[in-house]
Structure 1
């Protein structure tokens, strides 16, 4: 595994960088890198941005809004949040999301600091029942991207004020508020350190049983990443996207797959447009599923027949066919 030192504190660049490494055959090794952002909200790949953020607060406080390459929910970043990314070569049998594998080295490093951390639910690392880390993951044909947050000394008030957290999600986790559910790592450390010392400790632990080799980005790498930001990752179209005009809208929270919303535009009994959003994960692109559904009659039996011909789990991890049907027709 190689370490890549990045220089960006603007999320558009780090999201573009992850995409660049994931889709560039010149990057043949396994990589890890860390980054710290200016105040930002990072929305999941499949989320409806406007619904996830407090637009007034975000605008008044100059908070950057960026979309990442993976599913899951929206997260708040600032200078008190350490982010980590692993990009690895996919094994032959590695075709499903696996949070345990990639969070284990982080959890082990935290335990060395006396922090009793553990993986909980789909993708969170907790201490004493409170969240210190959210994780997300994506796969393509050849590689796995796993990235996560580490709340070292985050401004919790800004976190709470900048995000619109669905009441469904709060109720499903049996919590009174977001503020009561999160914890800064700094508050449970027995030793004093700043976020940069914390990063160095985590990095040293990851490479404790192997030699650390650094990959240095070239001028050409920087040029290509800059172009990705200009063409995609820094654009309104990518970060906010579109929501179709809809005649049918439904949202449900499923224990195994997450919070999912479906918007449909149905005319004369035909599904003319569909938008699926939420904090779910996926192996394949959800817009492929949307394209398959467009043009079908808005009839339960017709959609059931379609779902029998595909592996729905590839598009929305862990969802059952009957759950998806209930989203469209309940």
Structure 2
């Protein structure tokens, strides 16, 4: 077992690091990392159906898809994340309780009543502080989990607040739970860094032959390449979403109403149906054709619509209002 604490707080780097170590090393790993604010979506989720896109854009919070399944989570500097990568027998690789035990045991030693509950949750007095997910690769499993230590829970709830009625798809939906921070249950204050050190010590107790690991320059270069090609790429973070039907009714100041229905396949708009009192119906079929084949991406649609005369197709509605109706 090799262990380390990541020196990076870039969410795309740390998720790329997980995949790189899983697929390029034979050794078992345990490592911890803390990210700058970010929304991390599960592999099989529809990204737009899981996040408050408007708030994420306003606050410049990046959205990154991870390799494992499960629901969307919010990371910030008060959230400590852990990852186990181990080999095992096929069919017996996934064991959430086993790989959560260093976390539970560390907290028990701090006199915090932490428990493993349900399929993969860690709780304190019935409130969730950690969710876990896994990904199997050949004869190996990567299990990782969040740990809410001193996260901004208000911000978490705001960024994950979305209107589920806008999307119809087969993506995995996040299940919202009552959550709590670990720090609220500690009898004496410790820093997140101190908490990370205690978990590492617990891992070393459970794996006496564990040795410290450091990413070398070659590792970092390959992780950064994977980060650029995948984890910082719209195609992975948004376009990989399951195919979906987007439906939204928008009411604008002045009484304008616009209803949009779109079929999205691999992130690309396949068809568009529009209705409302602001439409110039004799021209609208030409407008709909212009959007077919475009990415369901705000910057793409803004660029597309900026090149045409909005007044030729719509009444009493601005460019920015029109763009907002598509998300």
TM-score > 0.5, shorter chain as reference: yes
Cα distance in 2, alignment partners of residues 114 and 15 from structure 1:
31
Helix, strand or coil at the partner of 1:240: helix
Report SS of the residue matched to 1:42: strand
Equivalent-residue separation in structure 2 for 1:211 and 1:91 (angstroms)? 21
1:51–1:164 contact (8 Å) kept in structure 2: no
1:13 matched to which residue of 2?
Answer: 13
> For residues 186-225 of structure 1, what are the structure 2 equivalents within 5 Å?
186-209=183-206, 210-225=208-223
1:7 alignment partner, SS class: coil
Residue from 37, 40, 49 that aligns with 2:38? 40
Partner of 2:3: 3
**What is the root-mean-square deviation in Å for CA atoms of aligned residues?**
2.7
Pair 1:116 & 2:113 matched: yes
2:97 pairs with 61, 84, 100, which one?
A: 100
Rg larger for:
2
Q: How far 1:4 sits from its partner (Å)? A: 2.6
Number of the residue aligned with 2:64? 66
Q: Distance in 2 between matches of 1:245 and 1:133?
A: 29
Distance in 2, matches of 1:144 and 1:244, equals: 24
**Residues 237-295 of structure 1: per-residue CA shift (max 9 Å, x gap):** 1011156776799xxxxxxxxxxxxxxx8xxxxxxx799xxxxxxxxxxxxxxxxxxxx
Q: Shift of the alpha carbon at 1:128?
A: 0.9
Q: Secondary structure at the match of 1:133?
A: strand
- For 1:97-246, list aligned pairs within 5 A: 97-164=94-161, 181-209=178-206, 210-241=208-239
Unaligned runs of 5+ in 2: 166-174, 248-262, 268-327
Work out whether residues 89 and 142 of structure 1, in 8 Å CA contact, stay in contact via their aligned partners in 2: yes
Compared with structure 1, are the counterparts of its residues 124 and 165 closer, same or farther at alpha carbon in structure 2 (3 Å cutoff)? farther
Deviates more, 1:66-75 or 1:236-245: 236-245
Tell me the distance in 1 between the aligned counterparts of 2:182 and 2:112.
Answer: 8
Deviates more, 1:10-19 or 1:208-217: 208-217
Work out the number of aligned pairs and report it: 243
The residue that corresponds to 1:317 in the other structure is: none
- For 1:193 and 1:153, the matched residues in 2 are separated by 11
Length-normalised TM-score, structure 2: 0.68
Residues 75-84 or 113-122, more deviating: 113-122
Q: Which SS does the other structure have where 1:207 is aligned?
A: helix
Q: Distance in 2 between matches of 1:3 and 1:206?
A: 8
Aligned position for 2:80: 82
8 Å contact from structure 1 (residues 44, 72) kept in 2: yes
